[in-house]
């Protein structure tokens, strides 16, 4: 069985639903990386829709701080339930926020967080499915913050793809295999 799968896709591509469908176990640890903004009703509705779609037997862990996710993955045992992380774009946005990188500070801290995450994924002992936005197919963002986010997420996705056994790209709800389990890296 594949131990690590990276599921990439654009906004509203169906990547999260596809990733959820990869796990047929009764018990799954669902790691939600999005930060909650109680004043943003639309964001809370999106989170509620994701929650409603998951089986009741799945356990949700909110890990909005970058080190929360890294620590959780590092502490896994082979007998732990599978883990689904959704999604790494919101995780990275939180890392950029925490480091003050939007204002031009802390880029080195973000790089350290990304390296720690890649290392934790490589060492995770239980079945792992990661969801991330694919950002390399669009135009060059016109803002510094847009380019910063795109560049860091593109780099993070590439580094994670190197340590994952299987990589999928979901386009218009259709999964495309970029690397099959057991395939060359």
> Terminus-to-terminus CA distance in the chain, angstroms?
17
Instruction: Kindly name the residue from 50, 59, 67, 152 that is annotated as catalytic.
Output: 50
Tokens 């939007």 map to which residue? 102
Residues in the chain: 185
pLDDT of residue 53: 86
pLDDT of residue 185: 52
* 3-class state of residue 130 by DSSP: strand
The answer to whether the beta carbons of residues 132 and 166 sit under 8 Å apart is no
The answer to whether the beta carbons of residues 126 and 78 sit under 8 Å apart is yes
Mean pLDDT by 10 residues, the chain (185 residues): 87 92 95 89 88 90 83 93 96 94 92 97 96 88 92 97 97 93 61
d(CA 132, CA 150): 12
Question: Is the bond into 87 cis (omega within 30 degrees of 0)?
Answer: yes
Tell me the residue ranges of DSSP E strands in 10-156: 29-32, 59-62, 83-86, 128-133
pLDDT of residue 16: 93
Alpha-carbon Rg of the chain, whole angstroms?
16
Q: Is position 105 annotated as part of the catalytic site?
A: no
């Amino acid at each position: 069985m594949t131990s690590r799968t990276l599921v990439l896709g654009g906004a509203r591509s169906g990547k999260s639903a596809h990733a959820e469908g990869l796990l047929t176990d009764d018990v799954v640890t669902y790691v939600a990386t999005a930060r909650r903004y109680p004043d943003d009703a639309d964001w809370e509705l999106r989170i509620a829709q994701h929650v409603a779609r998951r089986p009741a037997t799945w356990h949700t862990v909110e890990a909005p701080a970058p080190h929360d996710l890294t620590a959780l993955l590092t502490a896994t045992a082979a007998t732990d339930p599978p883990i689904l992380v959704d999604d790494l774009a919101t995780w990275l946005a939180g890392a950029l926020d925490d480091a003050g990188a939007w204002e031009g500070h802390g880029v080195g801290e973000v790089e350290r967080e990304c390296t720690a995450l890649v290392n934790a994924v490589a060492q995770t002992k239980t079945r792992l499915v990661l969801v991330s936005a694919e950002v390399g197919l669009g135009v060059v963002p016109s803002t510094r913050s847009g380019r910063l986010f795109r560049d860091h997420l593109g780099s993070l996705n590439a580094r994670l793809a190197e340590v994952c056994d299987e990589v999928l790209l979901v386009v218009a709800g259709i999964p495309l295999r970029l690397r099959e389990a057991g395939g060359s890296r």
